[in-house]
Amino acid sequence: MTRRLVIDTDTASDDAVALLMAVAGPDVEVDAVTVVAGNVPLAQGVKNALFTLAFCGAAEVPVHAGLDRPLVRRLGTATDVHGEDGMGDAGIVRSVGEPVAEHAVDALVRLANEAPGERDLVTLGPLTNVAAALVRDRDLLTKYRRTVMMAGSPDSVGNVTATAEFNVWADPEAASIVLNAPGEKVLVGWNISRRQAVMGPAEQQRLATLGTARARFVSDINVKVAEYCRTVTGLDGYDLPDPVTMAVAMRPELVRRSEKLPVSVALGDELRGQLIIDHRVAGRAGASAEVVWEIDEQGWKELLFAACSED
């Protein structure tokens, strides 16, 4: 069965690796990429998406520019994590092609309604575009087969703050709208990324020995993230939140343990973006997302290395 994906992204270095995996996926079709402001300003995210798709031989995939700031708050980027260009400031990204004219929010609504139940939505950035599309079409996420999100940290260990993960922190109101919307949602949080998606010395060595242009691309654009992990989050390498989320979207069987739980978002300034999960029995009646607690780490990394082995 070919899995047809619509990917909403704020295209920084790990998003680019996730795009590379989707394009390389043997039974995956990328029907569209929609871009949202987040890690980098919107224009840079669009440029990074266009370049990455062209680099992977998928320049035909339409790229739609979306919203350039969160629904309510000012845009907070993550250039301190990914570099000014979001791609490690490695001097790799150049202008290639143009986005299509259709706005990302219009595309998200159209793609769901023209083929209900036939496409999966994968979100790799702040949920601003998806929330805006939900304002237009309340049942949007019931028309995607399922929505697989890199969003939040269900154990409240944060990366951008002590308790919040960047995508939810950047636009918590949007995340709240999405989590409250009907439809099957799978939440792959920073708990998975920091525990089962770290490219440590052994993985980095294996990547280097592949000797392919794609392997070099992945290493080069993640140099800044590796530095951030070493000095801020204290990981032994660099973590790949969006690629591990893409792996779950491509291979749902990689999920070893998950729970359907009621998930809401803290909107106050002190705990902005923290996920609030009600584990009490009474709370479970309002389960809003399938929270992933454990995946097959070896399995997902084999998918990544396979994608990087091609040239």
**Nearest distance in Å: CB 223, ligand RIB:** 15
**Nearest distance in Å: CB 257, ligand RIB:** 21
Q: Compose the 82-121 pattern: x for residues touching Ca ion by CB under 5 A, - for all others.
A: ----------------------------------------
**Nearest distance in Å: CB 126, Ca ion:** 8
120 touches, from Ca ion, ligand RIB, none (C-beta below 5 to 8 Å by class): none
**Nearest distance in Å: CB 242, Ca ion:** 5
Q: Closest CB to ligand RIB among 143 and 194?
A: 194
288 touches, from Ca ion, ligand RIB, none (C-beta below 5 to 8 Å by class): none
Q: How many residues bind Ca ion (CB under 5 A)?
A: 5
Q: Closest CB to ligand RIB among 114 and 236?
A: 236
Q: Which H, E and C letters describe the chain, residue by residue?
A: CCEEEEEEECCCHHHHHHHHHHHHCCCEEEEEEEECCCCCCHHHHHHHHHHHHHHCCCCCCCEEECCCCCCCCCCCCCHHHHCCCCCCCCCCCCCCCCCECCCHHHHHHHHHHHCCCCEEEEECCCCHHHHHHHHHCCCHHHHCCCEEEECCCCCCCCCCCCCCCHHHHHCHHHHHHHHCCCCCEEEECHHHHHHHCEECHHHHHHHHHHCCHHHHHHHHHCHHHHHHHHHHHCCCCEECHHHHHHHHHHCHHHEEEEEEECEEECCCCCCCCCEEECCCHHHHHHCCEEEEEEECHHHHHHHHHHHHHCC
Spatial distance between the Cα atoms of 154 and 45, rounded to a whole number of angstroms: 26
Task: Compute the CA torsion angle 174, 180, 185, 188 (nearest 10 deg).
Answer: 50
- Select the span of 175-183, 190-198, 220-228, 239-247 touching Ca ion (CB under 5 A): 239-247
User: Which stretches of the chain bind ligand RIB, using CB under 6 A?
Assistant: 12, 14-15, 39, 78, 81, 124-125, 150, 159, 165-167, 190, 241-242
- Confirm or reject binding of residue 15 to Ca ion (CB under 5 A): yes
- Confirm or reject binding of residue 35 to Ca ion (CB under 5 A): no
**Nearest distance in Å: CB 286, ligand RIB:** 25
159 touches, from Ca ion, ligand RIB, none (C-beta below 5 to 8 Å by class): ligand RIB
Q: Closest CB to Ca ion among 20 and 262?
A: 20
Q: Which of 86, 125, 237, 243 binds Ca ion (CB under 5 A)?
A: 125
11 touches, from ligand RIB, Ca ion, none (C-beta below 5 to 8 Å by class): none
Q: Closest CB to ligand RIB among 243 and 262?
A: 243
Q: For residue 258, how many C-alpha atoms fall within 13 Å in the half-sphere facing its CB?
A: 22
Spatial distance between the Cα atoms of 2 and 26, rounded to a whole number of angstroms: 8
Q: Closest CB to ligand RIB among 143 and 163?
A: 163
86 touches, from ligand RIB, Ca ion, none (C-beta below 5 to 8 Å by class): none
Name the nearest CA neighbour of 46 among 29, 60, 67, 28.
67
25 touches, from Ca ion, ligand RIB, none (C-beta below 5 to 8 Å by class): none
Q: State the residues that interact with Ca ion by CB under 5 A.
A: 10, 15, 124-125, 242
